[in-house]
Structure 1
Amino acid sequence: MSASLTTALDAVLRTAETEDIGNPWVNIAIFGGFVAITLVIVFRASRNNKTAADYYAAGRSFTGPQNGTAIAGDYLSAASFLGICGAIAVNGYDGFLYSIGFLVAWLVALLLVAELLRNTGRFTMADVLSFRLKQRPVRMAAALATLTVVFFYLLAQMAGAGGLVALLLGVDGTAAQGLVIAVVGALMILYVLVGGMKGTTWVQIIKAVLLIAGAAVMTLWVLAQFGFNFSDLLQGAIDMAGEGGEAVIEPGKQYGVSAMSQLNFLSLALALVLGTAGLPHVLMRFYTVPTAKEARRSVVWAIWLIGIFYLFTLVLGYGAAALVGPETIKAAPGGVNSAAPLLAYELGGTILLGLISAVAFATILAVVAGLTITAAASFAHDIYASVIKHGEVKPDGEVRVARITVVVIGILAIIGGIFANGQNVAFLVALAFAVAASANLPTILYSLFWKRFNTSGALWSMYGGLISCLVLITFSPVVSGKVDPVSGASLSMIKNTDVDFAIIPLENPGLISIPLAFLLGILGTFLSKDGSSPEKYAEMEVRSLTGAGSEKATVAH
């Protein structure tokens, strides 16, 4: 989740010195306990991983409530807990806009595409996009878009994991943080390699329970400090902010500075809201339930859990502002990312801080595991089995390739995370969501709802969205030219303030690339001679809306 993550993780990575917060050995003990318990569960879950359906979709054995909890675990990343709390603590009302935006994004994803995709597909998003179009070119384009989204999202998570966990464990220096990134990557590889989707799902369920329970305990604890009166809590945040403190409960503190800042927010919000509906690792979760009815139950559970959690972030953010103070938060190691840990330390000392640190660690592991299984499934199922082998491959051979892919992706993520450590990761997260919104979502919607849509339209939209995102991000301020007006330091990926090739003022390309991708899909369809298949569209429509035939597709697609 993303813009909050960009600010939060960048603050961690820019930290020059580390101060011990609490007791690192307590944090290590709690981390170790979590890893040991989840590894036992993953190994137990792996006993039944015999087929491709077992490895990719957990044998479609999870109930609606279980899958709904796992979806919440997949959706609520470290940024949702650490980043949004920090954004609210520092920017007040404007920070809470992230919580609102992410919840709305989730509703868009569920109501618009989630159940329809589950009814139509088998293992991956490309199953749906190629259902009534030419298999090989569409699968290749969808897989490349998926791998791009996953890689940059994974890279940002790994780089952030190094900074965050190193901070909480009290280790300093590039080599130490690199070691932390390698450990996180190795655990991720082990979880996915052994457990597949079933093991990953159980890790996500445990993580969701821990995250929501931890946030609930801290929320009640904060409210108790103010007599369970939310107005008193807001007044405490205003008083702690000092002169002009009323700005923390009014709109415009962060995004009302200029017309360009408002435009940046609009562009970012568009990418987040629509990008979530195209995030392959979130959509893939719907293939783990046996029926459309269970998919709908997943929806209900996920909405409740995610909605309640984002209400918690409002109390936690303003609680950190009132009890810790925005200046203290910004000055601490980790910057705004330290809001939730500092609040935990303020409320419950070393033990509560250790528990919250373990929750953050569990969150990172669950998210990277979900991303990795998605990338492995996309490569093995879409590129290897469907494009390279023309569909003539045994399921166990496909799973073997998926496992090899997990190791390769894990190694690349570790190397990339170490390389990105100490650099601004804002552009990585922005790119992941922008690619998902531009390359994936238009093609998904057109495939599901537009009878005339054809293969050329899909390729124009996917490749056009992907390429435009890459170009726009490259020539935007998040790569070069963005300078802190106070310190004069570079806030871009390139740390040399003299290097500036930013010609696009928008920090996120969503406002340009998303409409462009929709337009290219229309142009590609009308300008090509590719025909569409009304019969296949009718079959897809019936299946997507009713679920009829979707269970049969799990056996023979």
Structure 2
Amino acid sequence: MNHLLSAGGATAASNPVLNIAVFALFVAITLFVVYRVSSRNSSRSDYYAAGSAFTGRQNGIALSGDFLSAASFLGIAGAIAVHGYDGFLYSIGFLVAWLVDLLLIAELLRNTGRFTMGDVLSFRMKQRPVRAAAATSTLVISLFYMLAQMAGAGGLIALLLNIHGGLGQALIIAVVGVVMVLYVLVGGMKGTTYVQIIKASILILSAVLMTVFLFGKFGFSLSNLLSQAAYHSPMGGKLLEPGGQYGANGTTKLDFVSLAVALILGAAALPHVLMRFYTVPNSHEARRSVVWATACMFVFYLCTLVIGFGAAALVGTDEIKAAPGGENSAAPLLALHIGGTLLLGILAAVAFATILAVVAGLTLTASASFAHDVYANIFKRGHADPVDEVRVARLTAIGIGVLAIIGGILANGQNIAFLVALAFAVAASANLSTLLYSLFWKRFNTTGTLWAIYGGLGACLVLVIFSPVVSGSPDSIIKGVDFHWFPLKNPGLVSIPFSFLCGFLGTILAKDKADPRKHAEMEVRSLTGIGS
């Protein structure tokens, strides 16, 4: 199909200047803000953790901005519009995940580390091998997460400018990559945090206003909205029932369980989320951060429910699937239907802001991990000049930006909520077991740490490569070939327990023993904050 349905496509394509102008205005404003707040980025503390100067409320809003990615805004709304009830399960998984962060991770992590997850994992282990493993998992997870955001950028600009050619979308993905690297190079953590606060506020406000408008259109009756969505969907009444996407057979039901496990456990192991806990001065503010983030996301995900079903009712599944970007186009098409090109331009700017802010946070985290864990503590053995370390972090950000652009071009067209779920599975498989074992298990040692990280990460990557995500299904990344043997699209159900098992066996079978004094010091520090 070479255009959007009827007037929708014509309207969207007829005024691309307005759409891009709104986005360019946002980029200009946020780059100015980043420049103004980034006057002190020479030290490691300033560049990595913004001098730990943010309050719990500020950091919580920024956390929600870091987490409410293109997957949340575009992917989940599209999944609800097309698959109904099963699409909303993404929202539930993302929200419940924060309880794990609040109860098990946030306070202890803030008290134990300084800049990166590697600080925590290596606290009572051999520094060099553990920091290398932590940096490896951070880089892989960040790149996986970036794929989703860059793919979302390609799909969104395709809708805005009615671009169907791969070259045009690839060019736009490259532009987004360049802008997000600028955020990181200029602003560091402080500038990135302010961008995320601005973006989260605009995103939640936009979602609330769209929700109120939609409710008004259906007489402020959720029942009317749902019945109209079911009436216009090919699924009919089954749109509102479980099983629309994951209820076809035993394999798809198992896939849903795997997805749920990955979503709930993955947030507590995402490096860019964990790094945010170092931007507040103490563990109390870290807990407040999680509470504020959860509250913001609760409001937002309730709105995505209405937006998703509103798109099903007013736009229709056929038009959503036929549009450039596929399922990811549901929310922008709904904006086009209810508010014309101006609302589409505003919504597109918000979505682009979402993508830019999240990818900037990921880039900063990945570059900080390489510079702090690999360069400073492995190559320089803890004696790196802070100025040189920040310079290495900035150079790494450029390299990661290039990789993100290439990966985003390859992953363009996939549902971005699904791609993010894969990143969650990788994070939980590689990091969660090592974090929990390090914080709570006295016997845990270096060998167990390495087995858990590399075992979980390797198992997850192998299962993804040989799953229907890569080959063997109509929506696979590689078309026309089939070398998959693992039946599930999300590997979390297998790879996450496997990581815990690897960590346990590595600890039990290893000859190296844990240092009880270091464990005692880590326990006191993690529980009290003394020494942090």
What does residue 553 of structure 1 align with? none
Residue type at the aligned position of 2:301: Y
Cα distance 1:16–1:346, how it changes in 2: closer, same or farther (>3 A)? closer
Name the SS for the 1:308 alignment partner. helix
Cα distance 1:297–1:375, how it changes in 2: closer, same or farther (>3 A)? same
2:228–2:313 contact (8 Å) kept in structure 1:
yes
What does residue 522 of structure 1 align with? 504
What does residue 212 of structure 2 align with? 220
What does residue 349 of structure 1 align with? 340
1:400 is the counterpart of 2:391: yes
Q: Which residue, 328, 331, 335 being the options, matches 2:326?
A: 335
Q: More displaced, 155-164 or 107-116?
A: 155-164
CA RMSD of aligned residues (A): 1.8
Provide the C-alpha distance between the structure 1 equivalents of 2:418 and 2:228, rounded to a whole number of angstroms: 35
Q: Which residue, 503, 507, 525 being the options, matches 2:485?
A: 503
2:141–2:270 contact (8 Å) kept in structure 1:
yes
Deviation (angstroms), 1:260: 0.6
Deviation (angstroms), 1:385: 0.3
Q: Which residue, 458, 477, 480 being the options, matches 1:493?
A: 477
Equivalent residues in 2 for 1:38-437 (5 A)? Answer: 38-241=30-233, 245-421=236-412, 429-437=420-428
Deviation (angstroms), 1:94: 1.2
What does residue 460 of structure 1 align with? 451
CA offsets, 1:70-125, max 9 Å, x none? 00000000111111111111222111111111101122223221221111110000
Deviation (angstroms), 1:156: 3.3
Residue type at the aligned position of 1:101: G
- In structure 1, stretches of 5+ residues that fail to align are 1-14, 483-489, 551-557
Provide the C-alpha distance between the structure 2 equivalents of 1:114 and 1:272, rounded to a whole number of angstroms: 17
Provide the C-alpha distance between the structure 2 equivalents of 1:189 and 1:78, rounded to a whole number of angstroms: 18
Deviation (angstroms), 1:430: 5.0
Provide the C-alpha distance between the structure 1 equivalents of 2:329 and 2:418, rounded to a whole number of angstroms: 21
* TM-score, normalised by the number of residues in structure 2: 0.95
Provide the C-alpha distance between the structure 1 equivalents of 2:281 and 2:146, rounded to a whole number of angstroms: 28
1:427–1:473 contact (8 Å) kept in structure 2:
no
What does residue 10 of structure 1 align with? none
2:158–2:324 contact (8 Å) kept in structure 1:
no
Name the SS for the 2:202 alignment partner. helix
Provide the C-alpha distance between the structure 1 equivalents of 2:323 and 2:165, rounded to a whole number of angstroms: 17
Residue type at the aligned position of 2:492: G
Q: More displaced, 417-426 or 152-161?
A: 417-426
- Identical residues among aligned pairs (%): 67
CA offsets, 1:217-241, max 9 Å, x none? 0000000112212122222222223
CA offsets, 1:337-356, max 9 Å, x none? 12111211122111111111
CA offsets, 1:4-53, max 9 Å, x none? xxxxxxxxxxx876645532111111011101100100101111212100
Residue type at the aligned position of 2:516: P
* TM-score, normalised by the number of residues in structure 1: 0.91
Name the SS for the 1:275 alignment partner. helix
Provide the C-alpha distance between the structure 1 equivalents of 2:47 and 2:26, rounded to a whole number of angstroms: 23
Equivalent residues in 2 for 1:432-447 (5 A)? Answer: 432-447=423-438
2:90–2:263 contact (8 Å) kept in structure 1:
no
Cα distance 1:379–1:136, how it changes in 2: closer, same or farther (>3 A)? same
Deviation (angstroms), 1:254: 1.4
Deviation (angstroms), 1:500: 1.7
Runs of 4 or more off by more than 4 Å in structure 1?
15-21, 419-431
Name the SS for the 1:184 alignment partner. helix
1:452–1:525 contact (8 Å) kept in structure 2:
yes
- In structure 2, stretches of 5+ residues that fail to align are none
Cα distance 1:84–1:429, how it changes in 2: closer, same or farther (>3 A)? closer
2:71–2:149 contact (8 Å) kept in structure 1:
no
Provide the C-alpha distance between the structure 1 equivalents of 2:87 and 2:422, rounded to a whole number of angstroms: 21
Cα distance 1:38–1:425, how it changes in 2: closer, same or farther (>3 A)? closer
2:98–2:290 contact (8 Å) kept in structure 1:
no
Name the SS for the 1:48 alignment partner. coil
Cα distance 1:103–1:425, how it changes in 2: closer, same or farther (>3 A)? closer
